[in-house]
């Protein structure tokens, strides 16, 4: 049951992200992609650095800080 509860919580956060899609569309492209990638709150900065190092580098160039 704990695994199912975690999965449901991630799905709920993702659903809430999509419900706010209009607001996300106002973000610059790098912020939009970052927001999408972390929408379920399963990925942190270390995960993003491992999975998408070029994205993190580009995000930091455009925003001056880590996502």
pTM higher than 0.85? no
Strands (E), 1-67: none
pLDDT at residue 66 greater than cutoff 80: no
7 alpha-carbon distance from chain centroid? 16
Give the model confidence (pLDDT) of 6-59 as tens digits.
999 999 999 999 999 999 999 999 999 999 999 998 888 889 999 999 999 999
How far, in Å, CA of 38 to CA of 62, rounded? 18
Sign of CA pseudo-dihedral 2, 48, 41, 17: negative
pLDDT at residue 67 greater than cutoff 60: no
Cβ 18 vs Cβ 10: under 8 Å: no
In the structure encoding, which two tokens stand for residue 10, read together? Answer: 């991630």
């Amino acid at each position: 049951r704990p695994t199912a509860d975690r999965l449901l919580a991630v799905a709920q956060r993702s659903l809430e992200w999509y419900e706010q899609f209009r607001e996300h569309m106002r973000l610059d492209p790098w912020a939009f992609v970052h927001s999408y990638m972390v929408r379920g709150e399963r990925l942190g900065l270390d995960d993003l650095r491992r999975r998408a190092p070029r994205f993190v580098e580009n995000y930091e160039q455009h925003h001056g800080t880590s996502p």
